């Protein structure tokens, strides 16, 4: 078969050449070893097709075959024999773009991304040229978004290839700066949609574009891949100019950037905590509500990624600012987000820090609970649950004011559109009960458990969030009430056992980085809806 293939690939027919290259591409992973004695001939065939063919289809087929074959070679010295194909591979991409064939260019980019992910070292010798070309594509406003996004993906993929090629991207700081600037510019592609201001849950992302989403995701990935020592100096150059600009979109982009890079840059950002916190808190007064929302969002994210340092050092600034933002009745989405940020802040907080602020925060959250907007009510419930959990017995003095509102939502939010609201009221009630203890909670607990039992007996729809929230609430109530929970065991156990047999959906994402730099090295487990919280 091989003699026929070699004959076909050197024939005068572009169709035959393309077909044989596509077959080589598919065969590589199965018979790579068989092809090893023919490395020299294959090299010549691929080079010939990449450089001399007038057919775009043949050049793309050769690019795919070359990349698939390089990935199959286990020996670095064998791979190095194909190094000189790289300029021709890149020309396939640039010529497609120069002739306006963007769909072909996108095919080429997807193949090159595959190579960057699996064999990043293959690119090492010509890295400045390759990355320079990719950044030129990413910076070219005249190209399709899809093409520019793929060029960005290529560079991010290389940055993430830490295990196979540690430190490779970090040695090119000028390129990191250019990429960071491209990603921040993508965040400017956002519209001020009226739907966003109405604060209906389904319009959470109103005004955001695919450019914005890619920029946001890639800033997060880049900072985790390269760490704070590389990213923070670059961000420090760009952020002040964005914050000083007149356009609200630039203020918004700067704050979103801070939130996105916090996880990967946490150790370095903690060293500059005052500067970071002040930068964000100054934007709480911005005239544009979307900027104020982004500032609150940043404080929430920083509370998670830079805690507990942020809580210990800046509670006196952050909590009053969030409490004040809850008064923004003209902008319910801002209010709801301020409540959510209280949750982020209090999760990394001791009762001693939280206690002096409880009067102000809880009274404001109770006002929000009575708000007509479901999103605001849900935010307030989640925040109350977290504050109760963090303040523990300090919450007792607020119990009598809070519990009637929580029970009212549990009993009255029966409409299908209120399912999540009702579910969150269960969560809040059970966490408040655990915080204040059995003696204080006992009388209300009976009423609450009657409601839960009747709900459990009803036919809940399979996608109803109440089901999982109820299981977690039962677990907390059991822990809180101890022996007093025994009469309810016969009702609770069957669905609990049934749920225990479900396969949990677990995703593990590693955020650990190279040992030689100072950056985040946590592992986080996400997407696991634990039955017993």
Looking from the CA of 185 toward its CB, the CA atoms found within 13 Å total 14
Cα distance between residue 232 and residue 230, in whole Å: 6
pLDDT score recorded for residue 516: 42
Compute the half-sphere exposure of residue 18: CA atoms within 13 Å on the CB side of its CA.
Answer: 11
What's residue 503's pLDDT?
57
C-alpha span between 94 and 86 (Å, rounded) = 12
DSSP 8-state secondary structure symbol assigned to residue 392: G
Work out whether the CA dihedral 183, 188, 189, 195 comes out positive or negative. positive
SS3 per-residue string spanning 321-365:
HHHHHCCCCCCHHHHHHHHHHHHHHHHCCCHHHHHHHHHHHHHHH
Residue 194: Cβ within 10 Å count:
10
Report the C-alpha gap between 327 and 334 in whole angstroms: 9
Mean pLDDT of the chain: 89
Q: What is the pLDDT of residues 456-491, one digit of tens each?
A: 878 788 888 998 899 899 999 999 999 999 988 888
pLDDT given for residue 38 in this prediction:
80
Single pTM value for the model: 0.88
The pLDDT value given to residue 504? 56
Q: Please give the C-alpha separations between residue 458 and each of 452, 461, 467, in angstroms, as whole numbers.
A: 10, 10, 11
Q: Which residues contact 81 (CB under 8 A, 6 or more apart)?
A: 39, 40, 43
* Residue indicated by tokens 């301020």: 338
Q: Looking at residue 391, what is its pLDDT? A: 92
Stretches in the chain below the pLDDT threshold 70: 1-2, 32, 201-206, 499, 502-533
Q: pLDDT tens for residues 127-148?
A: 999 999 999 999 999 999 999 9
């Amino acid at each position: 078969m091989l003699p026929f293939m070699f004959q076909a690939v050197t024939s005068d027919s572009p169709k035959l050449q393309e077909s044989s290259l596509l077959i080589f591409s598919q065969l590589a992973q199965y018979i790579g070893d068989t092809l090893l004695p023919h490395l020299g001939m294959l090299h010549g065939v691929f080079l010939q097709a990449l450089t001399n063919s007038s057919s775009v289809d043949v050049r793309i087929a050769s690019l795919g075959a070359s990349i698939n074959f390089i990935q199959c070679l286990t020996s670095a010295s064998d791979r190095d024999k194909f190094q000189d194909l790289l300029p021709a591979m890149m020309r396939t991409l640039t010529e497609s773009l120069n002739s306006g064939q963007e769909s072909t260019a996108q095919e080429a980019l997807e193949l090159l991304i595959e190579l960057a992910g699996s064999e990043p070292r293959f690119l090492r010798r010509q890295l400045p040229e390759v990355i320079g070309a990719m950044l030129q594509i990413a910076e070219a406003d005249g190209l399709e978004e899809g093409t520019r996004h793929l060029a960005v993906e290529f560079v991010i993929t290389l940055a993430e290839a830490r295990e196979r090629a540690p430190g490779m991207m970090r040695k090119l700081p000028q390129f990191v700066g250019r990429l960071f600037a491209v990603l921040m510019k993508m965040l400017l592609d956002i519209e001020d949609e009226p739907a966003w201001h109405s604060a209906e849950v389904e319009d959470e992302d109103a005004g955001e574009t695919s450019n914005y989403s890619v920029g946001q995701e890639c800033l997060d990935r880049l900072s985790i891949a390269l760490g704070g020592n590389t990213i923070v100096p670059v961000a420090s150059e760009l952020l002040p100019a964005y914050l000083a600009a007149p356009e609200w979109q630039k203020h918004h982009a700067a704050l979103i950037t801070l939130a996105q890079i916090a996880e990967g840059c946490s150790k370095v950002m903690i060293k500059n905590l005052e500067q970071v916190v002040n930068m964000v808190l100054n934007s709480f007064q911005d005239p544009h509500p979307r900027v104020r929302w982004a500032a609150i969002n940043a404080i929430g994210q920083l509370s998670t990624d830079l805690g507990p340092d942020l809580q210990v050092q800046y509670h006196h600034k952050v909590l009053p600012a969030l409490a004040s933002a809850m008064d923004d009745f003209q902008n319910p989405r801002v209010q709801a987000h301020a409540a959510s940020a209280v949750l982020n802040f209090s999760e990394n907080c001791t009762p001693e820090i939280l206690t002096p602020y409880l009067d102000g925060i809880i009274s404001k959250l109770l006002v929000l609970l009575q708000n007509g907007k479901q999103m605001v009510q849900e935010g307030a419930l989640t925040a109350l649950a977290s504050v109760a959990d963090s303040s523990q017995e300090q919450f007792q003095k607020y119990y009598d004011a809070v519990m009637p509102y929580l029970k009212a939502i549990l009993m009255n939010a029966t409409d299908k559109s209120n399912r999540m609201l009702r579910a969150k009221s269960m969560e809040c009630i059970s966490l408040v009960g655990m915080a204040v203890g059995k003696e204080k909670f006992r009388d209300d607990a009976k009423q609450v458990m009657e409601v839960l039992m009747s709900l459990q007996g009803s036919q809940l729809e399979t996608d109803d969030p109440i089901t999982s929230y109820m299981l977690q609430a039962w677990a907390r109530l059991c822990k809180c009430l101890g022996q007093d929970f025994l009469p309810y065991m016969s009702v609770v156990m069957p669905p609990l056992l049934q749920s225990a047999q479900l396969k949990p959906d677990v995703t593990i994402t590693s955020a650990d980085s190279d040992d030689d730099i100072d950056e985040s090295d946590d592992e986080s487990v996400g997407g696991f809806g634990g039955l017993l919280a």
